[in-house]
Amino acid sequence: MGQPAPQDDSSIIVSLSAAAMHMYNAAIDALPFAEDKKFHKRADVVLDGMRKLRAALADAASSARPSPSVIVELSNVRRRYDSLMEHAAAAPGSSLGQQLYVTRIHAKLSAEEVASSAGLSPERPDELEAGAQPSDEEVAKIREVIDALGGVPGTEHLQYQQPEHHEPEHHDESHINGEELVEENAS
């Protein structure tokens, strides 16, 4: 038996990423329903690992000569990450960072662009999206940006709507079913 052909760095990176994504996909598939109290805790663990994988692949993709397979793998990881973030942001109890991420990705804006418009430091959206807690002042600024961008995609069904105000119907007892009642006068 011969030795396996040597692999270049790109193929090793892609193989390791594929193995990691196999585990992440299994973990995602095993997540409880979004309404379950354990959902966010478990999803956050997967998202944290996927953020690290995404960053490593982004570094590999920005190397001197990345192979197309690294770019394809980075794209696949980003798509799966975005999908899980959308699911998490639409779930009850989602973090403001998750909501911000999904809103800005849907609006095709970078973290830096959102930070600038909200008066935040350039790295703050990434920190919030990774689970950092916003200050009360940041909460107000972020909610304003999210609202300006149309709200969190996928949560339209959760938006509170004011009940419509109906005036009580006034029944004119001289009419029934559109016909005028004729009173008989007994003399």
DSSP calls for 58-90: HHHHTSSS--HHHHHHHHHHHHHHHHHHHHHHH
Q: Write down how long the chain is.
A: 187
Q: Which amino acid is at 144?
A: E
Indicate if the alpha-carbon torsion angle 10, 16, 22, 23 is positive or negative.
Answer: negative
Tell me the C-alpha distance between 61 and 13, whole Å.
10
Q: What is the pLDDT of residue 187?
A: 47
Could you tell me the pLDDT band of residue 125, with boundaries at 50, 70 and 90?
very high
Residue 134 near residue 96 (C-beta atoms within 8 A) = yes
φ/ψ (deg, to 5) at 12: -65, -45
Residue 164 pLDDT > 50, yes or no? no
What are the pLDDT digits (tens) for 40-81?
999 999 999 999 999 999 999 998 677 899 999 999 999 999
Q: Nearest-CA neighbor of 154 among 78, 80, 101?
A: 101
Cα gap 143→99, rounded to integer Å: 9
Under CATH, what is the fold of the domain 95-160? 434 Repressor (Amino-terminal Domain) (1.10.260)
pTM equals 0.76
Is a pLDDT exceeding 50 seen at residue 140? Answer: yes
Mean pLDDT of 107-118: 95
> Residue 128, class by beta-carbon neighbours within 10 Å (0-12 exposed, 13-18 middle, 19+ buried)?
buried
User: Looking at residue 69, what is its pLDDT?
Assistant: 93
Q: Give the model's pLDDT for residue 179.
A: 54
Domain residue ranges in the chain: 10-93, 95-160
